[in-house]
Amino acid sequence: QVQLLQSGSELKKPGASVKVSCKASGHSLTNYGLNWVRQVPGRGLEWMGWINTNNGYPTYAQGFTGRFVFSLDTSVSSAYLQISGLKAEDTAVYYCANDRGRTGGFDTWGQGTLVLVSS
Amino acid sequence: DIQMTQSPSSLSASVGDSVTITCRASQAIPNSVAWYQQKPGTAPKLLLYGATRLQSGVPSRFSGSGSGTEYTLTISSLQPEDFATFYCQQHYSSPPTFGQGTKVEIK
């Protein structure tokens, strides 16, 4: 079964860091760009950027530079989102997603990882 | 960046009704729209792409149309499982951008 499997919810204090993982199952992680999408509770979807899974080159959307880092470990078919210097406004569900069908839309999504930032 | 303005933000409808959701882009995006359905606590699900192309496994009561800057998602004969929030997304240029969402509720 084709899936993207994300790591579990995280509770972090302001200023801490978090690393969210996204593991491809039933398909190859490579050959498809891996996107990250943020959803603040009760709000809409926001594209954070993507990582080229062939060469590891990341592209960050405006507003997601500096504290956000995309990375890969192709040996375990996994992509990662690391956020440093966490702020309360980083509280959100973070999704990984790819476009295996090359449709332009995101046809495969992880289940989402809730990152809660609270003192 | 291309802005996607989605309307309405919410609507109430009954099982069996037909509903239409509209997205307007800030510039022409030739047939480069995807539509998603999201239920509470779950990831979005791709319904259509390329404005009119139904994703595999999606019921045919979902359809898309439009051109230029204006695109619509129509759900004919709403079913109980269709009550959710729907989002449009342009895939014409980077960054891909989403509409604000339309919550379809039971009347």
A100 interaction partners in chain B (CB closer than 8 Å):
none
The amino acid occupying position B46 is L
Closest-CA residue of A relative to B47 is: A107
Best of A2, A3, A45, A114 to substitute, by most chain B Cβ atoms within 10 angstroms, is A45
Q: What is the pLDDT of residue A27?
A: 85
Instruction: Please tell me the predicted confidence (pLDDT) of residue A35.
Output: 97
Residue A45 and residue B44 in contact, taking contact as beta carbons nearer than 8 Å = yes
Average pLDDT, chain B: 97
Q: Is B14 on the interface with A (CB under 8 A)?
A: no
- Does residue B37 sit at the A interface (CB-CB below 8 Å)? no
Collapsing DSSP to helix, strand or coil, A1 comes out as coil
Please give, rounded to a whole number of angstroms, the shortest distance from the CA of A30 to a CA of chain B: 20
CB B90 within 8 A of CB B29: yes
CB crowding B93-102: b at 16 or more within 10 Å, else e: eebbbbbbbb
Q: How confident is the prediction along chain A (119 residues), in pLDDT tens digits per residue?
A: 889 999 999 999 999 999 999 999 988 888 789 999 999 999 999 999 999 999 999 999 999 999 999 999 999 999 999 999 999 999 999 999 998 888 889 999 999 999 999 99
B102 touches chain A (CB under 8 A): no
Inter-chain contacts counted by CB atoms under 8 A, chains A and B: 62
pLDDT for B83 beyond 90: yes
Q: Report chain A residues touching chain B, CB-CB < 8 A.
A: 44-47, 49, 59, 61-62, 95, 97, 101, 103-107, 109-112
CB B28 within 8 A of CB B69: yes
The DSSP output letter for A43 is S
Inspect the interface and report whether the beta carbons of B95 and A62 lie closer than 8 Å.
yes
Could you write out the DSSP letters of every residue in B62-104? EEEEEETTEEEEEESS--GGG-SEEEEEE-SSSSPEE---EEE
Of A94, A119, A96, the residue nearest A107 (C-alpha) = A96
d(CA B9, CA A85): 34
- Cβ distance A85 to A67 under 8 Å? yes
pLDDT at A58: 97
Angstroms from A85 CA to nearest CA on chain B: 25
Residue B75 has pLDDT above 90, yes or no: yes
